[in-house]
DNA sequence: TAAAACTTGTTAGTTTACCTTACAAATATA
DNA sequence: TATATTTGTAAGGTAAACTAACAAGTTTTA
């Protein structure tokens, strides 16, 4: 396959899949893809900083600030000031936030999981598993 | 790998990659991802209908109407009424539209292509080629 | 065959998910 | 110690989608 064709078809596949996933996410959870990512990062990485979350999710710190404001107003996260640097605010999940993550973690990806299970053969699933880190590599570059 | 972990990591990889691609597209071409997809579909499928384009790109016919309006005002497409059904409008590229497609086709994906070439091994590229149709399958389902 | 229902497409107005600009406050550097 | 950088927030703007409402043509049905 000529390389330009590979990149073009990969782009189209990613765009189509993303569109479907976003639609499904909005269907089931009232949070955007980035908001779901954000809360996932907080749950896996306690006392993380707003700037770190922004860089992980590839949005500006200003946008992340808005998301965190929303989460805080809903009682999902708590901020604790850092002792060594008074500008820094460590972010962590409240019990309510933990509960929401737990409730949603499985439900959130159930849709995609079901598609994988019903549409793909075992061999295709194995291939897919191998490719995820490759996609990560392509996405990670700056 | 447990299936829920695969779907979760696939979702995150797709989201990250899509975000990067969208940013790059806006950087180089002043057309959105969906607009680029749309013009690609028209060039590959002459005399297509607006409703078909909407379904292919997974947006509403109303949104597609806006995109086509923009393209028409820029002289990129032409509409010709159907003889068998007067509601239907067949859409095709004008010479100016063809020119734009040709100019942009390679440039558009050069960024991703370069990443693939510089970041991945031959083996990884081969894997990626095999997986693109699998991603299409996951995306295609309704 | 006339009325009802559906299809195709448009316009208008709204929402969402980001962004940029501007700023405050704390910290690091010259 | 003045200047630059970092961390975070607030306000306002924008792109790309959406829903609602409608017009006009076509198909179904009573």
DSSP string, A13-70: HHHHHHHHHHHHHHHHHSS-HHHHHHHHHHHHSTTEEHHHHHHHHTS-HHHHHHHHHH
Instruction: List the domains of chain B with CATH numbers.
Output: 31-140 (1.10.10.10)
Q: What is the mean pLDDT of chain A?
A: 92
pLDDT at A142 (0 to 100)? 60
Nearest-CB residue to B116 (from A6, A110, A120): A6
Question: In this structure, how many other beta carbons lie within 10 angstroms of the beta carbon of residue B40?
Answer: 18
Residue B94 has pLDDT above 80, yes or no: yes
Nearest-CB residue to B14 (from A1, A21, A127): A21
pLDDT at B141 (0 to 100)? 67
Cα–Cα distance, A35 to A39 (Å, whole number): 6
- Residue B48: strand pairing partners: B91
pLDDT, mean of residues A98-116: 85
Which range of A18-22, A96-100, A125-129 scores highest in mean pLDDT? It is: A125-129
pLDDT in tens, A72-97: 999 999 999 988 999 999 999 999 99
CA-based nearest residue to B11, from A24, A46, A60: A24
- Residue B99 touches partner A, C-beta closer than 8 Å: no
Percentage of chain B exceeding pLDDT 90: 72
Within 13 Å and on the Cβ side, how many CA atoms surround B39?
A: 29
pLDDT at B14 (0 to 100)? 92
CB A11 within 8 Å of CB A4:
no
Residue A126 has pLDDT above 80, yes or no: yes
pLDDT at B122 (0 to 100)? 96
C-alpha distance from A94 to closest chain B C-alpha (Å)? 23
pLDDT in tens, B16-68: 999 988 888 888 888 999 999 999 999 999 999 999 999 999 999 999 999 99
Cα–Cα distance, B23 to B44 (Å, whole number): 25
- Residue A26 touches partner B, C-beta closer than 8 Å: no
The separation between CA A73 and the C-alpha centre of its own chain, rounded to angstroms, equals: 21
pLDDT in tens, B74-87: 999 999 999 999 99
Q: What is the mean pLDDT of chain B?
A: 92
48-77 in chain B: CB under 8 A from chain A: 58
CB B15 within 8 Å of CB A32:
no
The reply to whether residue B138 touches residue A120, judged by beta carbons under 8 angstroms, is: yes
Residue A13 has pLDDT above 70, yes or no: yes
C-alpha distance from B64 to closest chain A C-alpha (Å)? 15
C-alpha distance from A83 to closest chain B C-alpha (Å)? 33
Q: Is the CB of B51 under 7 A from strand C?
A: yes
Smallest CA–C1' distance to C18, residue:
A63
Residue A50 confidence class, pLDDT cut points 50, 70, 90:
very high
Chain B partners of A39 at a C-beta cutoff of 8 Å? none
Spanning CA of B102 to C1' of C9, the rounded length in angstroms is: 29
Residue B142 has pLDDT above 70, yes or no: no
């Amino acid at each position: 396959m000529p390389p330009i064709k590979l990149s073009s078809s990969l782009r189209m596949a990613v765009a189509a899949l993303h569109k479907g996933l976003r639609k499904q996410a909005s269907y089931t959870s009232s949070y955007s893809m980035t908001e779901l990512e954000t809360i996932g990062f907080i749950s896996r990485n306690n006392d993380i900083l707003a700037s770190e979350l922004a860089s992980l999710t590839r949005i500006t710190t200003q946008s992340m600030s808005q998301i965190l404001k929303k989460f805080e107003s809903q009682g999902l996260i708590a901020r604790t000031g850092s002792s060594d640097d008074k500008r820094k605010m460590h972010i962590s999940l409240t019990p309510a936030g933990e509960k929401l993550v737990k409730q949603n973690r499985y439900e959130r990806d159930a849709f995609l999981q079901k598609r994988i299970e019903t549409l793909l053969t075992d061999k295709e699933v194995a291939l897919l598993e191998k490719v995820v880190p490759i996609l990560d590599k392509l996405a990670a570059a700056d």
